[in-house]
A and B are shown apart, each in its own frame.
Chain A
């Protein structure tokens, strides 16, 4: 072990020089932005970082496993942090379903499930038969009503299936909010334009999973490329599983699928 006192006594001037130099060098590392490769996050979506065209040839789908969700609200927290979503508006939320033995269905989603479901409901008059959680987010419809009705084309569909909003074009008329059968849209009070979940397009373009998928502790949210036969989503959708979409009668053909979806869910 180096005896500090001895070192200092040996050459006080050199010691101070070294300490100062080290401090300045260390501070500079904090001030000068590190290159994007400095902290390399491993690619979560295979092949995305090799994509160089504007639109990928991928066919992204989102699968929510209703049987796995524990209603912890991590996805909602991650989403709110990722987008700084104004209070009272929800890009994603988690619903709690409770069915009693008289087949009455009770649904709630206090604060969109942001705080997690830590307390049981106490207002159910009969014994509970079943209970489950259903996370909701943008359905990324193949035939999106919002894109159809937007008067200025501010809401559009990319060739790889994302429905996005150009907040610099949106006039804030709210027609898309009326047209969305799933109520995933809201009028952002800060930008005064329509807003909604994007399946974290900015992350996906960089080969990362959507923020909510990334944080889900029980892997209830799954995201991937249906064209990739090795992907989990391909296997789930191509193999015999109980899979459905929300409001199929609307004819919007969502790319958001639900594993183990129950008929009580709207």
Chain B
């Protein structure tokens, strides 16, 4: 849109936006950033449900969840780096951070979380890696040597110590996963200038939607991998996942609606702007898609799947479908928060528009590449570390 056209548009609809608010600065990349970190945090929580809270049914996917989290965590910074005007200066955030900036903490929290996740994976896979090292030769043997960090000791005593360390890492990983994503919510929630973002509920909503997207992501990945590799699905595990998904989704959806209802009920002058936003530019993406199609339908589907004792085929068919819907819901939520929040001008008198392009630097194609990358990385990780117990030489020896 040309500059001159801006004035005409503003005049035509009695809709005044500040001249610098025409452009949406945080576009698709910043939609993906909380989406990816959310999937990471949620997948980690699935793993911790087994390792810390001893939900035995989740054993088949407990290790896979960590590798899944790692694959996405590796890519979590990519959209940010693509977004920055000067990515070559990105390290300044860690080397010379501004202590009052909500954003400056991300590098530290991200790095700390990456260390915990890597350590947990290394300890969890140590017996596997030792066994694989003996079976392989050449490059793979060297790689397994590095991954075993020089220790081939798989005696019962050593494994017992490993187990304690794993439990400890999983336990501190839970608050860290919560901090990672609650913090991402705070990056938005701390911006008082934006009435859509500035709510203390934002970290909570981000965290709950993170749990939801992580669990849904695991269900989809697990069922698809099992289907395409022709392996039997552990339906009990899926049932348990669905129950947790329903539980977290109840909280997530209720808080999302409560947040909106509070704005509506308090009806401060900000509501005037928000109301125009929700009934105008966000009507389809929020009310129709996020709430209507991808929240209400999965809500009842999950309720039915959790409460009624369906046979295995029904669960195996509907669980991935409802999970994909939940993944769409969370992506829409990120879009509606990140982009929606910027559509309102701070003039409180109007909204701008935003249509992502396919080929621009932060466009749809780069977004697709960044979302496919974790899947490729997961596939590579799968070539090194076995996802499932039955492919694991250490588990076979033990079993």
Name A's B-contacting residues (CB within 8 A).
Answer: 87-90, 93, 95, 104-112, 121, 123, 136, 145, 147-153, 169-175, 177-187, 191-193, 250-251, 266
Contact B20 A151 (CB under 8 A): no
With A148-B101, A152-B98, A171-B89: A183-B18 Cβ-Cβ less than 8 Å: yes
Contact A187 B193 (CB under 8 A): no
- Cβ–Cβ < 8 Å partners of B190 in chain A: 149
Bound state CA distance, A87 and B347, in angstroms?
A: 20
Contact A152 B104 (CB under 8 A): yes
Contact A150 B25 (CB under 8 A): no
Contact A149 B103 (CB under 8 A): yes
- Number of chain B residues close to chain A: CB under 8 A: 48
Q: Which of the listed residues B4, B19, B22, B192 has the most CB atoms from chain A within 10 Å of its own CB?
A: B19
Name B's A-contacting residues (CB within 8 A).
Answer: 3-4, 6-8, 10-12, 14, 16, 18-23, 25-26, 83-87, 89-90, 92-93, 96-98, 100-104, 106, 187, 190-194, 342, 345-349
- Cβ–Cβ < 8 Å partners of B345 in chain A: 183
- Cβ–Cβ < 8 Å partners of B25 in chain A: 174, 177-178, 187
Contact B8 A110 (CB under 8 A): yes
Bound state CA distance, A261 and B305, in angstroms?
A: 60
- Cβ–Cβ < 8 Å partners of A108 in chain B: 7, 10-11, 16
Bound state CA distance, A184 and B345, in angstroms?
A: 12
Bound state CA distance, A112 and B6, in angstroms?
A: 10
Bound state CA distance, A266 and B18, in angstroms?
A: 10
Q: Which of the listed residues B6, B26, B90, B193 has the most CB atoms from chain A within 10 Å of its own CB?
A: B193
Contact A148 B100 (CB under 8 A): yes
Contact A151 B193 (CB under 8 A): no
Partner of B3, one of A87, A172, A178: A87
With A108-B11, A182-B346, A250-B192: A152-B26 Cβ-Cβ less than 8 Å: no
Question: Smallest distance from the beta carbon of A32 to chain B beta carbons, Å?
Answer: 39
Looking at chain A's contact residues, the main secondary structure is loop
Q: Known pairs A87-B3, A145-B193, A179-B192; list 18 more (Cβ under 8 Å).
A: A104-B14, A107-B16, A110-B4, A110-B6, A110-B10, A123-B12, A149-B103, A149-B190, A151-B106, A152-B97, A153-B98, A169-B89, A170-B86, A174-B26, A174-B83, A178-B342, A181-B193, A193-B85
Question: Smallest distance from the beta carbon of B239 to chain A beta carbons, Å?
Answer: 42
Contact A149 B101 (CB under 8 A): yes
Closest to B269 in A: A249
Closest to A107 in B: B16
Question: Smallest distance from the beta carbon of A182 to chain B beta carbons, Å?
Answer: 7
- Cβ–Cβ < 8 Å partners of B347 in chain A: 107, 183, 266
Contact A169 B92 (CB under 8 A): yes
Write 17 A-B pairs (CB below 8 A) sorted by A numbering.
Answer: A88-B3, A88-B19, A107-B16, A110-B4, A111-B6, A149-B101, A149-B103, A151-B104, A152-B98, A153-B96, A153-B97, A171-B90, A175-B103, A179-B192, A186-B23, A187-B23, A266-B348
Contact A181 B192 (CB under 8 A): yes
Bound state CA distance, A93 and B3, in angstroms?
A: 13
Closest to B273 in A: A266
Contact A112 B192 (CB under 8 A): no
Question: Smallest distance from the beta carbon of A77 to chain B beta carbons, Å?
Answer: 15
With A145-B193, A178-B193, A187-B25: A111-B4 Cβ-Cβ less than 8 Å: yes
Contact B84 A172 (CB under 8 A): yes
Contact A171 B193 (CB under 8 A): no
Bound state CA distance, A148 and B98, in angstroms?
A: 8
Bound state CA distance, A93 and B345, in angstroms?
A: 15
Bound state CA distance, A138 and B25, in angstroms?
A: 19
Question: Smallest distance from the beta carbon of A84 to chain B beta carbons, Å?
Answer: 16
Question: Smallest distance from the beta carbon of B333 to chain A beta carbons, Å?
Answer: 18
Count contacts between A and B, CB distance < 8 Å: 149
- 9 closest cross-chain pairs (CB), A and B: A172-B85, A110-B7, A192-B85, A107-B16, A181-B193, A183-B18, A151-B103, A151-B104, A153-B98
- Cβ–Cβ < 8 Å partners of B23 in chain A: 88, 186-187
Partner of B102, one of A109, A149, A152: A149
Contact B19 A90 (CB under 8 A): yes
Bound state CA distance, A107 and B7, in angstroms?
A: 10
- Cβ–Cβ < 8 Å partners of B85 in chain A: 170-174, 187, 191-193
Partner of A173, one of B11, B84, B191, B193: B84
Bound state CA distance, A139 and B97, in angstroms?
A: 25
Bound state CA distance, A174 and B194, in angstroms?
A: 14
- Cβ–Cβ < 8 Å partners of A150 in chain B: 98, 101
- Cβ–Cβ < 8 Å partners of B93 in chain A: 151-152, 171
Question: Smallest distance from the beta carbon of A180 to chain B beta carbons, Å?
Answer: 6
Partner of A183, one of B21, B187, B191: B21
Question: Smallest distance from the beta carbon of A112 to chain B beta carbons, Å?
Answer: 5
Contact B103 A106 (CB under 8 A): no
Contact A181 B346 (CB under 8 A): yes
Contact B349 A266 (CB under 8 A): yes
Question: Smallest distance from the beta carbon of A140 to chain B beta carbons, Å?
Answer: 16
With A172-B85, A178-B342: A110-B11 Cβ-Cβ less than 8 Å: yes
Bound state CA distance, A178 and B45, in angstroms?
A: 31
Closest to A172 in B: B85
Question: Smallest distance from the beta carbon of B37 to chain A beta carbons, Å?
Answer: 16
- Cβ–Cβ < 8 Å partners of B342 in chain A: 178
Partner of B194, one of A90, A106, A178: A178
- Cβ–Cβ < 8 Å partners of A179 in chain B: 191-193
- Cβ–Cβ < 8 Å partners of B6 in chain A: 110-111
Question: Smallest distance from the beta carbon of A232 to chain B beta carbons, Å?
Answer: 28
- Cβ–Cβ < 8 Å partners of B193 in chain A: 145, 178-181, 250
Contact B3 A107 (CB under 8 A): no
Contact A109 B10 (CB under 8 A): yes
Partner of B89, one of A95, A109, A152: A152
Question: Smallest distance from the beta carbon of A101 to chain B beta carbons, Å?
Answer: 16
Contact B16 A89 (CB under 8 A): no
- Cβ–Cβ < 8 Å partners of A148 in chain B: 100-101
